[in-house]
């Protein structure tokens, strides 16, 4: 999969960007402009959904054990959430966390989709990626959209998560310390 394809699809989207992964850490790491692109697209009225793992969920911890990375998976999710956190509350962006078993990471850009096929015991970046396009009479694309939507239905807004409460506590504490040092 060419690395530029991720950003090309993101930048070229005109109607919809849906991101579903445990962390999707690579996108802002490899493409720092991706967060600003997502913000601009949402502010222009695009349908943007971000769905990531709840780092405090047992499923996230279990994934760390399965990949033999242990506590690094929840830590990786927290770091990714920190990159994406400025998008929470932006009009047009619905940002949620999920606590389900992740079978595939699904990235939808208009009528194109990248699906990272997770393989038990293997790091996500080593697993195969499908590049799908919606086609008349085809059902693969819609099957993955339905999977995304099913997890979306049982997910919760990021603002209701333990991650968000910890983040806000840290931000408030840093603000107080900054004011006291003046």
The structural domains of the chain, ordered by start, are 3-180 (3.30.870.10)
**Integer Cα distance of 114 and 1 in angstroms:** 10
Instruction: Write out the two tokens for 174.
Output: 């840093």
Please determine, for residue 29, whether its predicted confidence score (pLDDT) is greater than 90: yes
**Integer Cα distance of 27 and 128 in angstroms:** 17
Give me the pLDDT at residue 88, please.
Answer: 97
Q: Work out the number of other CB atoms within 10 angstroms of the CB of residue 46.
A: 17
pLDDT band, very low/low/confident/very high, at 124 (cuts 50, 70, 90): confident
pTM: 0.93
Please determine, for residue 125, whether its predicted confidence score (pLDDT) is greater than 90: no
pLDDT band, very low/low/confident/very high, at 162 (cuts 50, 70, 90): very high
Instruction: Write out the two tokens for 158.
Output: 């990021």
Instruction: Write out the two tokens for 55.
Output: 């780092």
Please determine, for residue 178, whether its predicted confidence score (pLDDT) is greater than 90: no
Query: In angstroms, what CA-CA distances link 159 with 97, 118, 162?
Result: 9, 28, 8
**Integer Cα distance of 164 and 74 in angstroms:** 14
More confident site: 58 or 1: 58
Q: What angle do CA 157, 160, 163 make, to 5 degrees?
A: 100
In contact, 29 and 5? CB cutoff 8 Å = no
More confident site: 42 or 181: 42
Average pLDDT of the residues in 92-117: 96
Residue 60's closest CA among 160, 161, 146?
161
Query: In angstroms, what CA-CA distances link 31 with 16, 37, 88, 110, 158?
Result: 19, 10, 19, 20, 23
């Amino acid at each position: 999969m060419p690395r530029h394809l991720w950003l090309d699809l993101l930048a070229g989207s005109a109607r919809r960007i849906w991101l579903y992964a445990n962390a999707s850490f690579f996108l802002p790491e490899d493409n720092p402009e991706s967060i600003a692109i997502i913000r601009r697209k949402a502010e222009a009225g695009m349908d943007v959904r971000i769905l990531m793992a709840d780092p405090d969920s047992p499923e996230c911890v279990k994934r760390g054990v399965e990949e033999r990375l242990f506590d690094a998976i929840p830590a990786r999710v927290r770091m990714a959430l920190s990159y994406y956190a400025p998008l929470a509350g932006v009009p047009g962006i619905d940002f949620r966390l999920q606590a389900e078993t992740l079978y595939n990471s699904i990235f939808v850009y208009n009528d194109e989709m990248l699906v990272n096929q997770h393989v038990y015991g293997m790091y996500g970046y080593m697993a195969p990626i499908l590049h799908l396009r919606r086609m008349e009479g085809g059902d693969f694309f819609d099957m993955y959209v339905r999977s995304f939507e099913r997890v979306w239905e049982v997910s919760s807004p990021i603002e209701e998560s333990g991650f968000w409460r910890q983040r806000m506590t840290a931000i408030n504490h840093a603000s107080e310390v900054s004011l006291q040092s003046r």
